[in-house]
Structure 1
Amino acid sequence: MKERIVILGAGESGTGAALLAKAKGYDVFVSDQGQIKEKYKAELKQHGIAFEEGLHTEDQILNASLIIKSPGIPEKAEIIKKVKYAHISIIDEIEFAYRYIGDSKIAAITGTNGKTTTTLLTYHLMKSAGMSVALAGNVGFSMARQVAQQKFDWYVLEMSSFQLDGTETFKPDIGILLNITPDHLDRYEYNMQNYVNSKFQLIENMEPQQHFIYYADDAVIATDLKTRAVVPQEVAVSLNPASGVPVRFDGEKMTFDIAGKRFSIAQSETTLKGPHNLINTMASVSAAVLAGVEVEAIKEGLKTFKNAPHRLEPVGTIKGIEFVNDSKATNVDSVVYALGSYDKPLVWIAGGIDKGNDYNLIKEDVKKKVKVLICLGKDNEKLKKAFGGVVPEIQETQSVPELVRMALKAGREGDVVLLSPACASFDLFRNYEDRGDQFRKAVAELKKEIEGK
């Protein structure tokens, strides 16, 4: 009799896991408490995989020998409690896929901020150098789907703490930890150390020949490393010229002394701006070197990289004023990075659903750089209270086309209009992508109207 695997959640991750489980000869059942997207239903049907939606039928789930759950399902969910009570093993799709990669290698990236950029850049540097590499995890297609369909030499994974929580034997050949700041604490019993431990699950199983790249200036990482036995080879990255670590910014260039290679790269030779992207770039370049990419190929790759949308994305220039979409900045830490990326006067657009922000973290930068704050949200009182008297002028709107006109009127040639909201988007938008897309579209339409192009 075939071993039975039940998959909870039928998004990209769950569907990918189902395809891999079916390909490996398991009896597979998929259960989603919500509605399954049509494209995933069609795939499940095409591969003869049984599924249900709108409920979890316990009789069909609790007879499994292994459960693969979506990272979005919390431990406190009723069905998970029952699975645990039945002593059925629960893992994540990435852990499942990892068990079938053979001699392929993994570079895994985590951190509270900067994961996506670093993952995409690492993938780009390897791919543009001609390596056999797949992009997976929180970006691209699920790892399980790709393992099921094709063999790659390398998998570059963006991993959230939720995905790391679902690993048991998983160990990347290269692990990158960018930073740790409070986030998702509702999933970690409001205990910061639980969240820190989740991030460090990245290196839990790593071996001496493998490499752990981390940002040495991050206070949380630095403190935790003092009490933690680290088995893989450490590659510290720092913005401090005096740090003496192998990969650092010397005040002018990023310098690398890694895997027997010594070289330097100026940020102007890359497509990314801001100090946070120095960290991301140093981590990605280090990973690429360790994966075997030649330095010249890395330098070429850095010139052609395009970041994911909604991350300090230039979306147009009108009357000499640059409009930048940083809609992905849904917390204050992300806005710190955004403000640090520009020396020009800013018209700053912020607002939405506040996630318990401490605006004191950015008050000094805002005071120095922001000439006008435009609040885009249903309730802007906290923002107005925080920055009244700090910013010379505060305006507000709930309309994106009006917002863009207000910003153009407030700016002067050489200024930057920066959408970096510090808040979630759900009061006025479907998600941060929708917010950024609407902003990009409104800028393009206003530009066309003014310039007639």
Structure 2
Amino acid sequence: MIDVTDKHIVVIGAARSGFAAAVLLQQKGASVFVTDHGTITPSIKRQLENHNIPFEEKGHTKQAQKGDFAVLSPGVPTEATVVQYYLESGKKVFSEIETASWFTDASITAVTGSNGKTTVTSWLDHTWSLGNISHETAGNIGYAFSEAVTTDAVDDILLEVSSFQLDHIDTFKPHISIILNITPDHLDRYNQDFSSYAASKFRITENQSADDWFIYNYEDSTIRKHVESLKKKERHPKLLAFSDQQEIVNGNGAFVRNQNIILKFNQQEEVLMPTTDVKLSGKHNLNNGLATALAARASEIKSDVIRESLSTFEGVEHRLEQVRTVNGVSYVNDSKATNINAVWYALDSFNVPLTLIMGGRDKGNDYSELVDQIRNKVHTIIAIGEAKPLIEEQLKTVVPHFKTAENMNEAVRTAKQGAKRGEAVLLSPACSSFDMYDNYKHRGNEFKKAVNRL
């Protein structure tokens, strides 16, 4: 535990994570000042005032430069002027998850990856609950790590962590770390450099030792290269690979043989359950289930609990969420699919003809990566948002029907006109939501409202 008593600490960014870090640091005896480049929401302002934490908004003054060190909210880029001031002055900048980790003795299981983080973190929460293990689930999932450590002490903390949260760690050390996959995403925060983005993800393992575990996707060549470099460390974490494509021959992990999930620990194999008993559909969710099972086994959770979890977990809201069936047509909300890879996985999980609603604020996407999947499964694309022209340019000739809509209600009504019984209408945007909505949840909820109006 790091002593912050009488330290003057500046928290940069006053969204949920920043506010939670400020309150935690004040409780631990620090003098805290909060600064935000934008407008602080009225509710957080009220709470800062209630805690007697001084703050500023709509820009950073000289007051923001006076900290002994700075704590950074994940939404604030490293390139921000005030962050650069600290770094160039030789002062430390810590992420919120780094700061929170100073004040807990709980065992940390941390999940990262370009896709599937929320699903796996929620699946772990379901498993730990079934196993009656005291835990908190926090991080990028909507409940800040700093909030979790101010509650009653628990045995385990389950964290969803993003690359942004890993950018400024120092001593953060999960007992179990998981990397699900690494595909191009958020490259605007990493100078369009995929290797820099991947390096941020890999920081999840940098403080782990031989007493810890690293669970990784064996099919991801970028991650496998990292594993080879990890093996050169004298006290690297114990390695557990997962794959739905091939057996784990050298080493331990989880894989599929004859439609059964096999767990392999200490070179001993155990047939866990048939893959057909996993409730969540799709190959990507099978991999998510394998990662969940490995984390549970590394935490010494019994096989019957793991089996129950894999056969009962129903997924998370806004990720391939079944909304309703209207006149034999299934409507599916995958608003959380904010990059190309996530949409590819979504399409891969369907075996019926599709109408695909996509679009929003483009993130530098190459939509042509979806051409094979779309050609095989999608008869109609309905494009929405700022990305409409780009999607039209790259995908119009790939489908029999290409349409555009001005809003979600129009998109859903247009989809209804062309979808036939036995088919599905899928919202899987491949884009961020910020051109039209507050966030992906807002977008998904608008889709559900539109579907429920049919």
Normalised by the shorter chain, which TM-score bucket?
Answer: over 0.9
Aligned residue in 2 for 1:237: 242
Secondary structure of the 2:270 match is strand
Work out the percentage of aligned pairs sharing the same amino acid. Answer: 38
- 1:17 counterpart (12, 15, 21): 21
> Cα offset for 1:261?
7.0
Asked if residue 100 in structure 1 is aligned to residue 108 in structure 2, the reply is: no
**CA pair 265-22 structure 1, distance change in 2 beyond 3 A:** same
Q: What amino acid maps onto 1:10 in structure 2?
A: A
Aligned length: 444
Q: What amino acid maps onto 1:95 in structure 2?
A: E
Q: What amino acid maps onto 1:48 in structure 2?
A: N
Q: Deviations over 1:297-350 (max 9, x none)?
A: 222233443432211010010111110011111221111100110111111112
Contact 1:97–1:147 (CA under 8 A) maintained in structure 2:
yes
CA distance in 1, matches of 2:336, 2:272: 30
Secondary structure of the 1:226 match is helix
After superposition, where does 1:283-362 map in structure 2 within 5 Å?
Answer: 283-362=291-370
> Cα offset for 1:162?
0.9
**CA pair 381-63 structure 1, distance change in 2 beyond 3 A:** closer
Q: Which moved more, 1:329-338 or 1:239-248?
A: 239-248
**CA pair 20-429 structure 1, distance change in 2 beyond 3 A:** closer
Aligned residue in 2 for 1:119: 121
Q: Which moved more, 1:12-21 or 1:217-226?
A: 217-226
> Cα offset for 1:354?
2.7
Aligned residue in 2 for 1:416: 424
Q: Which moved more, 1:326-335 or 1:357-366?
A: 357-366
**CA pair 345-210 structure 1, distance change in 2 beyond 3 A:** same
Contact 1:129–1:301 (CA under 8 A) maintained in structure 2:
no
Contact 1:35–1:53 (CA under 8 A) maintained in structure 2:
yes
> Cα offset for 1:32?
1.9
Contact 2:12–2:72 (CA under 8 A) maintained in structure 1:
yes
**CA pair 255-354 structure 1, distance change in 2 beyond 3 A:** same
Q: Deviations over 1:18-56 (max 9, x none)?
A: 121111111222222222223322322222222222332
Secondary structure of the 1:280 match is helix
CA distance in 2, matches of 1:354, 1:215: 28
Aligned residue in 2 for 1:213: 215
Q: What amino acid maps onto 1:248 in structure 2?
A: F
Q: Which moved more, 1:73-82 or 1:153-162?
A: 73-82
CA distance in 2, matches of 1:233, 1:378: 45
Asked if residue 363 in structure 1 is aligned to residue 371 in structure 2, the reply is: yes
TM-score (norm. length: structure 1): 0.92
Aligned residue in 2 for 1:169: 171
Aligned residue in 2 for 1:34: 38
CA distance in 2, matches of 1:208, 1:256: 21
Aligned residue in 1 for 2:139: 137
Contact 1:254–1:278 (CA under 8 A) maintained in structure 2:
no
Q: Which moved more, 1:213-222 or 1:387-396?
A: 387-396
Aligned residue in 2 for 1:426: 434
Secondary structure of the 1:148 match is coil
CA distance in 2, matches of 1:97, 1:430: 27
Contact 2:139–2:161 (CA under 8 A) maintained in structure 1:
yes
After superposition, where does 1:182-193 map in structure 2 within 5 Å?
Answer: 182-193=184-195
CA distance in 1, matches of 2:392, 2:58: 42
Asked if residue 390 in structure 1 is aligned to residue 403 in structure 2, the reply is: no
Contact 2:321–2:334 (CA under 8 A) maintained in structure 1:
yes
Q: What amino acid maps onto 2:352 in structure 1?
A: K
Contact 2:185–2:339 (CA under 8 A) maintained in structure 1:
no
Aligned residue in 2 for 1:154: 156
Contact 2:253–2:294 (CA under 8 A) maintained in structure 1:
no
Asked if residue 71 in structure 1 is aligned to residue 71 in structure 2, the reply is: no
CA distance in 2, matches of 1:3, 1:377: 46
Query: Over aligned residue pairs, what C-alpha RMSD do you find?
Result: 2.0
Secondary structure of the 1:167 match is coil
**CA pair 392-243 structure 1, distance change in 2 beyond 3 A:** farther
Asked if residue 50 in structure 1 is aligned to residue 51 in structure 2, the reply is: no
Aligned residue in 2 for 1:83: 86
Aligned residue in 1 for 2:263: 256
**CA pair 21-424 structure 1, distance change in 2 beyond 3 A:** closer
TM-score (norm. length: structure 2): 0.92
Asked if residue 200 in structure 1 is aligned to residue 175 in structure 2, the reply is: no
Asked if residue 5 in structure 1 is aligned to residue 9 in structure 2, the reply is: yes
CA distance in 2, matches of 1:268, 1:438: 33
> Cα offset for 1:291?
1.4
> Cα offset for 1:379?
5.1
